[in-house]
Amino acid sequence: SDHGPVLGHEVSFTGEDGGCSAEGGQPAGARLAADPTIVGIIGTSCSSEARAAMPLISAAGMTMISPSNTAPDLTLPGNENQWPGYFRTAHSDLIQGAAAAHFAYDFLGVRNIATIHDGSLYAEKLAEVFRGAFEDLGGTVVGQGAVQPDQTDMSAVLAEIATGGPELIYYPIFMPAGAFITRQAQETAGLEDTYLMGADGLFSPDVVEGTGDAVEGFYVSSPDLSAFGDAYLADFVPKYLEMFGTEPISIFHAHAYDAVGLLLGAIEDVAVVDAD
């Protein structure tokens, strides 16, 4: 609504649910690629969806800009998962993983860490980058674990992680699994004083609601939109509240706003108005 019509045409939105998975991303991408009324795509939400959908979208000659895909290989030149027509306004996890590792090593002073992922492309790659960056700094990886996105009992993986004696556990996953790990880690022998750290997938209000008092002392790596000052806090957020009746549920809402602006601006620059 801030952008207004494009060359005299009102902009309407349609959507497909890729389910944050490759299995859902492929058919969702196929449906959008086959729709002649679609002129551009904002998405996907998850990197796994993009990897499956983008070959079809690229083959159709379409452009997709993701506000929240962070898997490095999606924009890394010279690899099989980089497709023409794909862009993103989100950061690469090559940046986030390294920043989180430096925080753990330099600020918290830990030297032994463990990681947990949930099988998603996002979580696996971010955990991998974090481990590599931490080892490059001189630290040691003493454990790696994996959980299912819908898993509620984390006792087995946490008990196994505890045997390595990590000073910090990095788990760049999503809710609700992230809340279960945060709560249950503090109840696991050997992990009572272990630092816990998530990533941008756990930077949302429902994390506080889902973890209760266990969230105290929990660290998270994420973009910090408050750095934009009044332009964000006094202008953008009130408008968002007025329009949707709730605060943004993900840090990537601002990235989505910019992605739409970039897409519509590009269409205005290259579109041709004809008799049709």
Residue 145 DSSP class: E
At 1, is the pLDDT very low, low, confident or very high (cuts 50, 70, 90)?
Answer: low
What is the residue-wise DSSP string for 80-101? TT--TTEEESSPPHHHHHHHHH
- The full set of domains in the chain, from first to last, is 22-91+250-270 (3.40.50.2300), 93-222 (3.40.50.2300)
How confident is the model over 164-205, as pLDDT tens digits? 999 999 999 999 999 999 999 999 999 999 999 999 999 988
At 8, the pLDDT band (50, 70, 90 cuts) reads confident
Backbone dihedral angles phi then psi of residue 221, each to the nearest 5 degrees: -100, 130
Q: Which of 67, 71, 92 is nearest to 81 (CA)?
A: 71
What does the pLDDT look like over 78-105, one tens digit per residue? 888 889 999 999 999 999 999 999 999 9
Helices (H), 141-231: 155-162, 177-185, 205-211, 230
% of the chain beyond a pLDDT of 90: 77
What pLDDT digit, counting tens, does each position of 122-161 carry? 999 999 999 999 999 999 999 999 999 999 999 999 999 9
Per-residue confidence (pLDDT) for residue 43, from 0 to 100: 96
d(CA 201, CA 178): 9
Strands 168-170 and 140-146: unpaired
Q: Which residues pair with 113 in a beta bridge?
A: 141, 168
Q: What is the reported pLDDT for 206?
A: 86
Residues 6+ apart with CB under 8 A from 170: 100, 104, 113, 114, 115, 116, 127, 130, 197, 198, 199
Please provide the distance, in angstroms rounded to a whole number, between the alpha carbons at the two ends of the chain: 24
Q: What is the mean pLDDT of residues 23-33?
A: 96
Q: 221-274: per-residue pLDDT in tens? A: 999 888 888 888 888 889 999 999 988 888 899 899 999 999 999 999 998 888
Contact 81, 104 (CB under 8 A): no
What average pLDDT score do residues 58-62 get? 97
Nearest to 171 by CA among 217, 179, 21, 45: 179
pLDDT given at position 249? 80
pLDDT at 49: 95
